Structure 1
Amino acid sequence: MSRFALLLGGPLLVTEALKERLEGFRLLAADSGARHALALGAVPELWLGDMDSSPPWLQRALKAPKEILPRAKDKTDGEALLERALALGAEEVLLLGGIGGRLDHTLAHLNLAFALAQEGLKVELTDGLTRAFPLLPGVHAFPLPPGTPFSLLPYPEATLGVEGARWNLPPTPLGATTLTLENEALGPIRVEVVEGRAVLYLF
């Protein structure tokens, strides 16, 4: 499987566990997301963007191949980088810095993640501490350790069910709700999306 980790501009907590997890992933960076490469001690194979948010010190410090995009464009640097990863044959995408920070970017990244999932890609967004997974209709299994906290969010409406949690839920139509916030895995969980789409959020 062709696996890509994309460094985006949102916050990212770099831990030893995250570094280990990135083994086997090809690393690409979008504009200021490249600053995370320094914390990871890694050099992306491509640094793409208009560089409007990458200060001179960062451009001096990180010796990665750069591709400069025009500032006047109809997509973010992150979306352009994602398109490049797809052109390179990505089958699994990890969006580092894809959640947290600016709400508009987080929501845009979630929408992009759903579009990728609809194309059959495996997608995850993380800030290094929390993780988010877009869920389309079907059954989704997650091998979580006992005690893992999670929320299951309709996005924006869905019929959802969950098994293997402290509070199981039979398939239930949900819209705007707090009913499925702050659950706890007893071990591996099974999420069923009957209709609509949802986000599994691990924290």
Structure 2
Amino acid sequence: MKSVGIVGNGPANLLPDLLLFKGKIDIWIGADRGAYTLTEKDIPVEYAVGDFDSITDNEKLLMEQNTKYMEEYPSEKDETDIEIALNKAFELEPENIYLFGVTGGRIDHELINIQLLYLIRNKGINGYVVDKSNSIEMAFPGTHTILKNEAYPYISFIPFTKVVEGINLKGFYYPLENANVSWGSTRCISNKLLSKKGTFSFEKGILLLVKSCDTIQA
């Protein structure tokens, strides 16, 4: 299974340890400063794309030495650097796409980057937004198996569409049967698996599956 990793320009302190993903990801794409972030980690970059307006000349030189293909775009354009990188990833026809460095910082960019999971999933590709505290996926109707991950023990189901109908949670601390959840409801927030795996299913709508680490929130 071919996997592509895209690294954006999000705050460095929110990035997970990218070196832990080297065995999972076959091709790395850097979006703007994300290409330099990969260079700092000594991870070879297949494609570097964007306007590169957030790096210095010295950083750009180092990035170029670590990059196989570089595509520079004007700063005024119709797509963000992350979407340009995503379109490049689609050309590679992967089974999985991981997005790093796309959360934190400006909330408008964070929200739209999470929405990019819809474009990924709609093409039949598994998509993941991963940062230091969270791993986010998108699920379409059906039955899905979820495996326990000690790094992200808390599991939340957030409606992406206005209403998600017929939700069933099995193998969870808080089980659920044939429930409907709409925008604004906190009913499916902060659940846990009882054992190594569980299942969730739903009949209509789209869900965001958010796995989180043990941090305290209000």
TM-based fold match above 0.5: yes
The secondary structure found in structure 1 opposite 2:45 is coil
Cα distance in 2, alignment partners of residues 36 and 120 from structure 1: 29
Amino acid at match of 2:169: V
- Matched letter for residue 93 of structure 2: G
Determine whether 1:149 maps to 2:154: yes
Partner of 2:215: none
In the TM superposition, residue 172 of structure 1 has moved relative to its aligned partner by 1.1
User: Residue 195 of structure 1 aligns to a residue in which SS?
Assistant: coil
Q: Is the 8 A contact 2:36 2:60 kept in 1?
A: no
Q: Is the 8 A contact 1:135 1:193 kept in 2?
A: no
Distance apart, 1:19 and its partner CA: 1.8
SS in 2 for 1:111: helix
Summarize deviations over 1:72-118 as a string: whole Å, max 9, x none. 21111110111111112222100112333322122212221112111
Distance 1:144 1:198 in 2: 19
Aligned 8 A contact 1:110 1:134 in 2:
no
Q: Distance in 2 between matches of 1:190 and 1:179?
A: 17
Shift of 1:41: 2.3
- Select the structure that is richer in strand: 1
Aligned residue in 1 for 2:76 = 72
- Using the size of structure 2 for normalisation, the TM-score is 0.84
Deviation string for 1:153-188 (max 9, x for gaps)? 111421222221110111211112111111112231
Structure 2, gaps ≥5 residues long: 213-218
User: In the alignment, is residue 166 of structure 1 matched against residue 173 of structure 2?
Assistant: yes
Determine the structure 1 residue equivalent to 2:15.
13
Query: Is the contact made by 2:16 and 2:130 (CA closer than 8 Å) also made in structure 1?
Result: no
Identity over the aligned pairs, expressed in percent?
A: 24
**Aligned pairs (5 A) from 1:100-179:** 100-145=104-149, 148-156=153-161, 157-159=163-165, 160-175=167-182, 176-179=184-187
CA 1:83–1:133 in structure 2 vs 1: closer, same or farther (change >3 Å)? Answer: same
Root-mean-square deviation (CA, aligned residues, Å) is 1.9
The CA deviation string for residues 93-152 of structure 1, in whole angstroms up to 9 with x for no partner, is 001123333221222122211121111101111113310011111112111147811211
Partner of residue 180, structure 1: 188
Partner of 2:41: 40
Gap runs ≥5 in structure 1: none
Cα pair 1:135 1:197 within 8 Å, conserved: yes
Q: 1:52 & 1:42 partners in 2: Cα distance? A: 21
Structure 1 length normalisation: TM-score?
A: 0.90
CA drift of 1:43 comes to 2.3
Q: How many angstroms apart in 1 are the aligned matches of 2:56 and 2:198?
A: 43
Alignment partners' CA distance in 2, 1:2 and 1:148: 27
